[in-house]
Amino acid sequence: MNKISKTIIFGALLSVQPVSAFAGGPDTADMLGVWGSVTLQGDFKALSPSLDKFKWTVMNQTRTRDDSPQGTRESENLLFSQIGYQLNDNASLWLGYVHDWINPLDKPSYQESRPYQDFLWNQKWGSFNFMARTRMEERINESNAGPQTDGYRARQLLQISHPLPFMDNLSAYVGDEVLGYVNKNTWGKQGFSENRVLAGLSYQITPKLGADLGYLGQYVDNLSGNNLFTHNIQANLRYKF
């Protein structure tokens, strides 16, 4: 069973780069970037033992791109906050909000408000851990006259992880997320708009502190001009209270 598990995980890791390359094309602009984040998680049982099924998460993420003649620059900074309720051992519901500071190249910076709703499913299959997240989000451009919801975007993430046998508390993960708009809007094309493939390693440093390091390939089907493919180093430091 160990040999089978290792073969599946490492095969999936090796498959990420070919999938990323297939998404691109002659009309696709490629660039490098870094997505770095710090995540804090906890629950409300300190307030009352009866609130132990209510969870919270706060995350700050900075994104960079190398699309400037001057070199790498900060393209976005996102602040995530969400509250969830654990329905059972597998399922949970979440309400969240993102505030995004966006810095386009050679264009004025602006801000976005993004409320969202999640359904999260976690399932253990033997030594594998499977996670599915279904999200609906409402994108609001704060630079418009009078903020209003413009884009309704659906997202589906599937991810699987497995402990690695040669080191305690170390696991590998692979995943894919498809994003699409359900309405005509100024953010992106109606229908499919983006795909993200990801793979990496997670290490549990202590029972409360962990770290993730991996690759995220982001393919964007733009409204106009060339499509975009960013190859990102993804790093996350997480702490659970």
Query: Can you list the domains of the chain with their CATH numbers?
Result: 2-240 (2.40.160)
Cα distance between residue 75 and residue 62, in whole Å: 8
- Got the DSSP string for 88-146? SSSEEEEEEEEEEEE--TTS--EEEEEEEEEEEEEEEETTEEEEEEEEEEEEEETTSSS
Q: How confident is the model at residue 19 (pLDDT cuts 50, 70, 90)?
A: very low
Mind listing the pLDDT tens digit for each residue in 96-115? 999 999 999 988 999 999 99
Q: What are phi and psi of 79, to 5 degrees?
A: -115, 115
Least Cα distance to 154 among 202, 206, 119 occurs for 119
In this predicted structure, the answer to whether residue 1 has a pLDDT above a threshold of 50 is no
**pLDDT per residue as tens digits for the range 25-71:** 557 789 999 999 999 999 999 899 999 999 999 999 999 999 988 88
Whether 5 has a pLDDT exceeding 60, the answer reads no
What distance in Å separates the CA atoms of residue 117 and residue 99, rounded to the nearest whole number? 15
Q: Is the pLDDT of residue 215 over 90?
A: yes
Own/partner contacts of 9-16, CB < 8 Å, gap of 24 or more, are 9/162, 9/164, 9/172, 9/174, 10/172, 12/160, 12/174, 12/199, 13/172, 13/174, 13/199, 15/174, 16/174, 16/197, 16/198, 16/199, 16/215, 16/217
Q: What is the chain's Cα-based Rg?
A: 19
Task: Give the model confidence (pLDDT) of 62-78 as tens digits.
Answer: 999 999 888 899 999 99
Which helix (H) or strand (E) is 65 found in, with range? Answer: strand 54-68
